[in-house]
Chains A and B, each alone.
Chain A
Amino acid sequence: MKREIAIRRLMFLWGAIITLPILLVSLQTVFGKYGDDSALAWNWLLGQFSPPIALITAAYFSDASARWRNGLANPTRWWLAVGLSTLHGVAILVLLLAEPVLALKPYVLFDQLGLLFTLIQGIAVGALGAVVFDGR
């Protein structure tokens, strides 16, 4: 797979990953799920998505050389990036969907799982970086 296509697919993947959580938290905010503290939910969600989205967006919109664009993406790095991005997205979605059946308030979950999610995010961003900067 060409690197250009690989980046485009990662871009679409992340677009799909963020859609549901953002839609869900938007609805929750509108319906008052977080009371007066909806900013805390948004802080957490955007903190999760901003780094990978910023990286992949910059890679997608930048003008790479024809040699790089037409070069083949390393399959291992590509699948790792896809897998870890999916894992990160699924973890966020699962947390948001599982919160109603947990006895803890969402804010407590955001705080207590912050370390784990930062770790997943860091690895996912690293895997994305390995595709984006490979051969540049």
Chain B
Amino acid sequence: MTLRRPNVSTIEHFDETYACLHACVATCSALRELLGAIVTRHVLAVLIGLFLLVPRVAVAQLSAPEPMIGLVEFDGADGALVTAAFKEELASWDSLGKRRSPIRLIERARYQAALEKSGSEEKAAAIIGTELGVDLVTIGSVAFTVENRPFPDRKDICVERDEANSCKRYETRTRSCVETKGILRFTVRTIEVKSATGPDAGIIEKRDNYLTCDGIVQPRRPDFGLVMGLFASRPSHTGPAPNSVDSLKADMIGTGVSTLLFRLSRSSRKYGELASISGSTIDGNTTINAQTAMGALAIGMNASASATQGAIGSVGAGQQMTEPPFFPWPPPAPSLLGEVTSNFRIGGDLAAINKQIGALLNRRGYDSLHYFGIEGGFVVTTDLERYGENGRPATRDRWLIGKSGRARSFTEYVGNLLFGEKGRFRMFAFIVGSRDPGAAPFIATEQDTQRWKVTGAVALSASTGARPVAPGTRVWLYVYEFENSLDKNSKIVPLTDHAVPLVAHKRSLGLQ
């Protein structure tokens, strides 16, 4: 027997296979180590990111001003009960150490007075909201109704028992039952004070019931909140007798108020969305709504003035409503403002002043103007324009809003590359009237500028122009400044550095 030597090709094949397997194992091992290192680094990066991000988000959340909601006391037969429950809930909100409630109760009588003077819910809400400094006003009514539904019910009843008291014989008997169903219906409407429009309206309904059979009230199941002790601050069955209409009503009002407060609080946090909805839907019904409410804030001003002047009755509400489009009053806080009356001849009618302002603006290239009506005067606004650091309008891309993608020098290009393009934009508003316009406690946003551009009339109406200039009429210049937004979802944001003084803006208009 002879041993055969393995031939060379077999050995080479074995070596190759072994080397391949070895390479695979080594690759797997290296990959595992690499992945381990990557995962560890990623986990560390995520942890560091969270460590840096969480306090930032928390600070942003805490420092963000929360819009306030004014809740008008509820109308309806049970309005007083609901209002009392609201007061209790708001008090418990504070006492339990929750964050401060963004909701303020407004007396019904105060709202009614404003409603009678102004003639519409939007106007009344705008008046009251402006006076109280809230951003949204919720108006609503509440109704509690009871329905009784009789029905026969079959039940097995023990008719014979043994010595051990166990039931020996059952009989099925029919008994008469009544289902008492309570329905609590809140009809609410939220109106944005700034625009005097009502972007949110709806009905919140709660239902609950109990049974009475053969005159005996069946025990009602406690609601989920009571079981879990989540609403421990709300007494369960004190006051009205348990399992009665009164008890049902009290419980339903309690839970209904909690639900409503939760929803209102949530809508307060979503206020930005509400504002953008009312700002972006400027066609159709919303326009009608906005224009119906046009003079609302102007009339609001009348209402506050009427306390001292007693002049509210002399202002024709209908005339104001159908007059030129709405401009918020007082106007949103501008970046800069100043009186420019000395640059114009004040006298005759409003058309004469408008002619001077129009000529001034036309000379400077503002050929698209937007007119709004206010009490005893008017407002004219320009389009947003790009301007330079000297206050003069930009020579290129003057009317292009947002990013232009132009750099005049290499330095500017590098700046735009690293810091983002910092274009500056402005909008002028000339306010002509006999009252000091002041400024609202909020600033104009991108949505405001878009809304004004769309809703403003192209010329001063003949009726407004024919009005004689009232004594004490002055002309105010409001400058709203913006800059490019670097975030994804907006073109411009209000500018806060005020690097260009008012005098530079006035000089660019040819004003002293």
Q: Which residues of A line the B interface, CB within 8 A?
A: 24, 27-28, 31-37, 40, 57-58, 61-68, 97, 99-105, 107, 136
Contacts and interface: CB of A to CB of B under 8 A. Distances in A.
B413 interface: yes
Interface string B238-282: 000000000000000000000000000000000000000000000
Contacts of A104: 403, 405
Nearest to A103: B405
A37 B487 CA distance: 6
Contacts of A65: 19-20, 22-23
A111 to B, nearest CB: 10
Contacts of A32: 419-420, 486
Contacts of A57: 34
Contact of B417 (A28, A35, A64, A105): A28
A124 B19 CA distance: 29
B413 A67 contact: no
Given A57-B34, A101-B406, A64 B27 contact: yes
A36 B487 contact: yes
B3 interface: no
B27 A100 contact: no
A100 B402 CA distance: 13
B407 A101 contact: yes
B31 interface: yes
Contacts of B34: 57-58, 61
Given A37-B487, A68-B23, A100 B404 contact: no
Nearest to B29: A63
Interface of B is mostly: helix
A37 to B, nearest CB: 5
B30 A27 contact: no
Interface string B6-17: 000000000010
Contact of A63 (B26, B404, B405, B485): B26
Nearest to A99: B417
Contacts of B486: 32-35, 37
Nearest to B485: A35
A54 to B, nearest CB: 8
A135 B419 CA distance: 48
Interface string B369-408: 0000000000000000000000000000000101111110
Interface string B31-54: 101100000000000000000000
A103 B420 contact: no
